[in-house]
Structure 1
């Protein structure tokens, strides 16, 4: 449909004056069903609340327990912080999905998209750091005390944040508000426009996103966990060749523990690919649409790919926290301690009631 000097296609605008195609990203117009925006908003809000609650528990556990302040758990804490910051964009995206037109201001257009790129890639590379830490600990066998101290962990985490912040700094400048004048008024949306010239910035950015934001992390994580898997498998075969009856019970316990660890490692890789691959594919398709002027990728495609990525902060606390033996022991201890206190309180109440009844007699 053509309005004034612009062509609208639900998620794309073609400005005939500037001969430029704009993708609306989080905004969408001329929806076939307006209720879809509210469904998207509700789903994102639920994911946001669950992620904040789960990651808050993980951070609180690590800071409140001295025994839990290990090298891996410091990385897990950094991952939880990245999870919270990344998923905190969900309410703002949900608001834009409902309103369509961007009402959050020009500054938020720059900051929101830049922050999402930085936080998501910080999460990804923190997961890479965790896989490297587990590889060094399990396969190489270097004790934690000989590896790193908390200051080193802080520097590594700060380096991850600084590197991702620098890599995606261009998005803070090239995301901007775009006003489109239609016959019935003006609409505003936040879009990404690369500078024109001989350098194909969109190709460079998409390539960097594919390599640094997905391809290389998947390769490193897969290799590290594959080596850990081989280590467990070789130890399992060695144990299977032994027939000493005195160690059979210990062997069975160890087997169950190793099987659980192997399943967790496989699950980590599978979930990582399933949750981050869709948004990488969608960004690539958006670039192809704009370059070839096909204008076919709908904005809700990007939204649901982002929702899948938002699920990762919900899953990470289970994979990196709730599956941790020490964390589970702490939870069981707290639950038993609370139940003991409740039973003690009930006993004291019953004792006081019995003493009162005896005195009345």
Structure 2
């Protein structure tokens, strides 16, 4: 076995194996790992609180329990699933050597891929569901158990199948390191060098670019319908004798929802792009030996991506529920005015 100067990569039989979550060298292991633990633990706590709070707001009114609500709750579940891997990551940062077993090695990367795929696919499903409702002239939101069940089954089945190849080839290897004998690392051991690059490209296209394209097309369609509706209404108002040619109606709530989806998608791609880039750099290490990627770099990129699980519910709540608290506070002032007798001649000086 030949260990290169880049200690995060282990060169064995013409292949390099990256240590991923195991940091094989730290100048000050305790201080560095403490900072890492505080940062990623903060992400975990904020994410759990934000997703639970957003779910409570989404279901606070019984009438909101419709197709969109169920799919939105699925989005929060995916975020919570994503951050559930944080305790395992923290444990490995402290132990250095992978002591969690081979099963955990498969599960960590698998869950990360599944949760990311579920998130973006759910956003695409919400946009398609709202477009379908508008085109079918549904003036009121409904709950279709069969449609929602089929959609959820597709989302989770599709997201569960696509990461399987990557998960299968993640395994625990025991390596000899000069300062730490017999260190175990969870690494990707693909049969050939081109396989993981081909898979990563296909996975990114199917699970991220395609759903993102669906959302962009849906948003463009909703804008087109809204502009057409506004134009037809103006023509009808200016020419009362003209027939009612308004076909579709886009509510303000739908427009607000699609803007929110667009914000979430942009946030998703901004915060998930680094992990795709660094993964491709790690995989390209077999062909470009001068590339340097450390486990610490990989950790902070993963932490940045995990932050998206906390940002999603916050953005969703700010975009859709920022007026909810104002309405609740003003309701106490509105109701007494309605009870005031109309014939009262009392005036306040």
Give the total of aligned pairs: 320
Which of 269, 291, 298 is matched with 2:294 structurally?
A: 298
Q: Hey, what does 1:191 align to over in structure 2?
A: 187
Q: Hey, what does 2:67 align to over in structure 1?
A: 71
Deviation at 1:266, TM superposition (A): 4.3
Q: Hey, what does 1:80 align to over in structure 2?
A: 76
- For 1:86-235, list aligned pairs within 5 A: 86-138=82-134, 140=135, 142-143=137-138, 149-184=144-179, 185-196=181-192, 200-235=194-229
Structure 1 SS opposite 2:22:
coil
- CA–CA distance in structure 1, aligned partners of residues 56 and 226 of structure 2: 32
Q: Hey, what does 1:7 align to over in structure 2?
A: 4
Per-residue CA deviation, residues 26-81 of structure 1 (Å, 9 max, x unaligned), is: 12222355444332322211111111112112334455642121111110011111
1:10/1:226 Cα in 2 relative to 1: closer, same or farther (>3 Å)?
farther
1:265/1:154 Cα in 2 relative to 1: closer, same or farther (>3 Å)?
closer
Which of 16, 20, 23 is matched with 1:25 structurally?
A: 20
Structure 1 SS opposite 2:36:
helix
1:56/1:276 Cα in 2 relative to 1: closer, same or farther (>3 Å)?
same
Q: Is the 8 A contact 1:128 1:220 kept in 2?
A: yes
1:136/1:120 Cα in 2 relative to 1: closer, same or farther (>3 Å)?
same
- CA–CA distance in structure 2, aligned partners of residues 179 and 157 of structure 1: 40
Per-residue CA deviation, residues 221-246 of structure 1 (Å, 9 max, x unaligned), is: 112122223334455567788999xx
Deviation at 1:125, TM superposition (A): 0.7
Per-residue CA deviation, residues 103-161 of structure 1 (Å, 9 max, x unaligned), is: 222221111111111121111111111121233334x2532779761232122112211
Q: Is the 8 A contact 2:20 2:186 kept in 1?
A: yes
- CA–CA distance in structure 2, aligned partners of residues 7 and 181 of structure 1: 12
TM-score by length of 2: 0.78
1:144/1:201 Cα in 2 relative to 1: closer, same or farther (>3 Å)?
farther
Deviation at 1:322, TM superposition (A): 4.6
Structure 1 SS opposite 2:50:
helix
Deviation at 1:9, TM superposition (A): 1.4
Structure 1: which 5+ residue stretches go unaligned?
245-253, 341-361
Structure 2 SS opposite 1:294:
coil
Structure 2: which 5+ residue stretches go unaligned?
239-249, 334-349
- CA–CA distance in structure 2, aligned partners of residues 209 and 146 of structure 1: 33
- CA–CA distance in structure 1, aligned partners of residues 79 and 106 of structure 2: 20
- CA–CA distance in structure 2, aligned partners of residues 54 and 5 of structure 1: 47
The structure that is helix-richer by fraction is 1
- CA–CA distance in structure 1, aligned partners of residues 262 and 141 of structure 2: 28
Structure 2 SS opposite 1:102:
coil
Deviation at 1:194, TM superposition (A): 0.8
Deviation at 1:191, TM superposition (A): 0.5
User: RMSD of the TM alignment (CA)?
Assistant: 3.3
Structure 1 SS opposite 2:176:
strand
1:223/1:239 Cα in 2 relative to 1: closer, same or farther (>3 Å)?
same
Structure 2 SS opposite 1:292:
coil
1:266/1:107 Cα in 2 relative to 1: closer, same or farther (>3 Å)?
closer
Q: Hey, what does 1:271 align to over in structure 2?
A: 267
